[in-house]
Structure formats: structure tokens, C-alpha cells
Amino acid sequence: MSTPNTHFGAENIHAMLKECRSIYFIGIGGINMSSLAHISHLRGYRVGGSDREKTVLTERLAKTGIEVFYSHDASNMEDYDAVVYTVAISPENPEYVRANERGIPCISRADYLGYLMLGYGNRIGVSGMHGKSTCTSMCATVFMAGDADPTVLSGAELDAMGGAYRIGESENFIFEACEYMDSFLDFNPSTAIILNIEMDHVDYFKSMEQIYKSYSDFAAITGENGTVIANADDENVAVALANYKGRIITFGVLDGEADYSAINIRYPNGFAEFDVMHSGEFICHVKLSVTGDHNVYNALAAFAAGHISGLEPEKIAEGLCAFRGAKRRMEFKGTVHGALVFDDYGHHPTEVASTLAGVAKRGANRVFCVFQPHTFSRTYALMSDFAKSFEAVDEVYIADIYPARETDNLGISGKTLAIRIGNKAEYISGFENIARELNSELREGDILVVMGAGDIYKVFDYLEFDLLF
């Protein structure tokens, strides 16, 4: 069971923290939480926090002087003045319980982020059911290429930033706006990017009407003087924005009337290049260094965000070309028996299908995919769509479902999905067993994509890499 978001708002949080000198982060090892912890440390707070296990992120925090505990114990946070928590924790978390007993401020991650961002004039929030981390990273690369010195908070690490966040000195604040449990309604974007809208997070969203309302409310936060950058090719986005009163800037491939559109799209070597049209006029040629039709959309959204912020088109194109993916977003891991191996975070049917279709355009002899379903509720609700998501690949190995915050009360498993996919799919339990099969099958000229939002990356520990990046 998750712990609800707070919705105090920036003004109230400012008052709550006015006398605070120290902040404790429950779940400090998460990408967003570790970013917020570091920013708070830079702002002069004494910072500490806890998580279940040691990771590269927690070790990096510890090296900066942040106190990190690897257990959730009430005694850990006795000397702290306030708590920031991730909603993934249970309401019975002993640190959360103790904080409430002490009567100190307890603020959810999203609410705290919404407070921090108000110190910036140009606040660009990237939302959508998928593609958020990639588009946020693209925006970061574009703004850095344009010497716009952005502050960035992303859901994925980016080599160019040395992590999942960057502290800049300008008015530009770029952030990933997650819709789960309506977290993004606590943010304060002046510009809201909406990449796509469809059913997901079925443990929270019970209907498309609920999702439309959430995205409509997110857009409305920008106010009448704000801007929404919207996917013109997504009908659900249009429904959500039907009553929005501010400025809408559109991007698309299918809609020739979009404010920013891509034409003459080609895929030499599997990577898209295209002409960007602005209000019907040619403005720039763009070459991407990442695969997939979905990245054309991500690039157009990032282009629009940079252009309306005053960046030169040539600098935007330079940044987009330089972008080679964020961590766990088609991240190249090395070769196994000559086969190219990639790691990807994809866990929704649409993003799985789009990513794999892009891989297939690279002309491999065979495309293999290892897929770890993420949560029982998502796998159950979207089973039919998942079953059709692997058409572009030759072989699919389905791992056990990663439960995350859930327990299995639906009676499904990875084997259920493998059966629905058909003959090209095989259910294999255990990372070592999956790797054993891959080690015997992979050959030069093949491509392997390991996908999932859980811990499927652990399969790499058992693969026989000839070259590891």
C-alpha cells in the first residue's frame, strides 16, 4: 500500500520549512529522491535518509557528506527537523510513523519538488504515459547545447549531466512530471509538455475519464499565461486539452497543421533524420542518434520547448544529434558472442512495441528480447496489448513479473504472457537461466534488448560479454 501525496503547496511548505535546518528523505536511493536530497544539501540543509540497499546513487550521496542508512528505523531520523518521502513507502514505515508522532513536517516528494521549482522563471514539465525520461533528457541536451545552463531533474541518468540531475545558474528548470497518483499536480510548470495519453497505472487510474481529468488539471496549472506543448497526433491529448485556456503549441508527424512537424523522415542505419517545419515553413534539418518513431515525437517536443525558450534552431539540432540516450533507455551494454546488447526501461505495450520496431530497422540478422513484466495489475489489464507488442522481434524470453508495490491476487504470471504471445515466446524463471539460454543462442549480427522497469538488468551479471561498456 502506498502513502498518499501531500498537497500543501509551495507557500505552505515555505512556512513549514522556515525554521528547519535538516531534512530526512525516506527512500533516498530513488533517482528523483537522490536528486532532491543533493539539491537540498547544496542549499545548506543537513541531509540524511534511508533506503533498503546500497547503490551507486546512495554511495554518491554519502560521498558528499549526506548521511545514508540502509534500513528503515525510527531512530535514524530523530535528529531531523522535516521529512520528505516517496509515495512508494508504506504508511506503516517506522520512520514515517515516528515523524508523524513527533509532529514534524512530512512532505511528499512531488509536493517538495513543486516548492523547489518556483525559484525558476522558465519551468518546463515533461509529461506523458511514456517517453518522459527520454524527452526530459533530450530537452536537457538541447538546452546545454544552446548554452542555456538549465537545472534538470530527470527520471533517468544522462552521461552529459553525470547523473539524473544538473544544477544550473539560469532561469531554466526542466523536470520530469510523473502522473502516477497525480504526483504532477503538485508541480508548477510554466510550460507543460504532453507527449501522449493512454491507459496505464491501473492500480490508480480506473478509467480514461480519470486520466483526462488529471492531464487537464496538469495543463491548467500553467495558467492563462502559460503554454502547453501537445502531441497533435494523439486524440487523447486533444480530449484532455479541450477546456484549456492558455496557449497550445502542437507538434506532430501526421498532422500537417501542427506548429512543429517532421517531414521527409528517413532512417539511414536505423536512425531518423527529418526536416522540421515551423508554422508550415522549413526551419531546420535534424539527425537523431537514437532509434524509433517515438523518438521523432520526443525530438519534436524538445525542439519546440527549446525554440519557444529562445534557442537557435541550429543549436537545438546540434543538441538532438548529440543525444545518444539516457541510462536504461536503449543503453548499449556491449556484445555477447558478437551480438549487440541493449538495456531498456520499457514496460508499457506502446513503448515496448515502438522501441522494438525501431530496433528492427537496424537490419539485424535476428532480434531477441528479454522482457520482465512490471506489476501484476498492469500485466493483467493490458495483457492483450502486451501480447501484440513483440511482432518486430524473432525470439522473446519472458521473465517473472516484477511485483513492485503489489502482491499477486490476479493469478497471472510471466508464463501467462508467454502463452498469449505465442510460439516465438518462452517463459524462463530466473536470471541465470535466461542468461544461459542467451549465451547459447546469440551470434554476431544479432541484437538483444533486455526490457523492463524492475530488476531485469541483473541478467547482465550472467551474460558472457566479449566487450562490456
Query: Tens of pLDDT along the chain (469 residues)?
Result: 578 889 999 999 999 999 999 999 999 998 889 989 998 998 899 999 999 989 989 999 999 999 999 999 999 999 999 999 998 899 999 999 999 999 999 999 999 999 999 989 999 999 999 999 999 999 999 999 999 999 999 988 899 998 888 989 999 999 999 998 888 999 999 999 999 999 988 888 999 999 999 999 999 999 989 999 999 999 999 999 999 999 999 999 997 789 999 999 999 888 999 999 999 999 999 999 998 899 999 999 999 999 999 999 999 999 999 999 988 889 999 999 999 999 999 999 999 999 999 999 988 999 999 999 999 999 999 999 999 999 999 999 999 999 987 888 899 999 999 999 999 999 999 999 999 999 999 999 999 999 999 999 999 999 999 977 6
Query: What are phi and psi for residue 133, nearest 5 degrees?
Result: -65, -40
Q: Which fold has domain 10-114?
A: Rossmann fold (3.40.50)
Q: What is residue 282's predicted lDDT score, i.e. its pLDDT? A: 97
Task: Quickly list H helices, 20-131.
Answer: 31-42, 56-63, 94-102, 109-117
Residue 24 has a CB neighbour count (10 Å cut-off) of: 27
Instruction: Report the half-sphere exposure of 263 (CA within 13 A, side-chain side).
Output: 15
- How many CA atoms lie less than 13 Å away from 460 in the CB half-sphere? 23
In degrees, rounded to 5, the angle at the alpha carbon of residue 377 between the alpha carbons of residues 373 and 382 is: 70
Biggest alpha carbon–alpha carbon distance for the chain: 63
The cell for 54 is 546500497
Say if residues 274 and 308 touch (Cβ distance below 8 Å).
no
What number of CA atoms fall less than 13 Å from residue 167's CA on the CB side?
10
Question: Positive or negative CA dihedral for 433, 436, 438, 441?
Answer: negative
Q: What is the pLDDT of residue 389?
A: 96
- Which residue spans of the chain are classified as CATH 3.40.50.720? 10-114
* SS3 label, residue 365: coil
- DSSP helix, strand, coil percent of the chain (3-state; round to 5): 35, 25, 40
On whether the 119-322 domain is CATH 3.10.20.30, my answer is no
Strand partners, 151: 173
For the chain, where do the domains classified as CATH 3.40.1190.10 start and end? 119-322
CATH superfamily of 331-468: Mur ligase, C-terminal domain (3.90.190.20)
DSSP string, 78-94: TT-SEEEE-TTS-TT-H
**pTM value?**
0.84
CA 289 to centroid of chain Cα atoms:
19
